Amino acid sequence: MSSLTHFDDAGAPRMVDVSDKAPTRRTARAEAFVRMRPDVIARLAENPKGNPLDIARTAGIMAAKKTADLIPLCHSLPLSNVDVETRTHADGIHIETMAATTAQTGVEMEALTAAAVAALTIYDMTKALDKSIEIATIRLIEKTGGKSGDYRRADTGRE
């Protein structure tokens, strides 16, 4: 068997069989950062499409629920919670997401997908003000549960 779990011995892609694993509580948090000019940040509240941060929160939650439809070998999970928070900074918007489940596999992809889609939504809703907006970071902050145990990234968040 290959050490890369999404490939069989011949190198063909496959979904990992988790049927023998017991369901356990699992959580994951991810973050993204959307870099933009201060004048764009100042105009967020007057956006004619609605508040980009509120729409991004909803989009992130919806995306987490559709992760298995977007990522080819990802398992469909019964999510028990998804949250998306945004914080405005002088140079952009910090997005932090959380996903939780009790299942046979983890929710890292759901938390990452929520962060990515929330960031893309902010871009979509503000691109008329500035085409140079940049999605600078999408990464896992931490995960809990499962066979591989807990993980926490050392360099996370923005103050």
Q: Which residues are catalytic?
A: 124
CA distance 28 to 95: 14
Residue 71 phi/psi, 5-degree rounding, is: -105, 115
Per DSSP, helices labelled H in 17-51 are 38-42
Find out whether 144 and 27 touch, Cβ atoms under 8 Å. yes
CA distance 150 to 82: 19
**Nearest-5° Cα angle at 113, 109 to 114:** 120
Amino acid at position 15, single letter = M
CA distance 17 to 9: 14
CA distance 55 to 58: 5
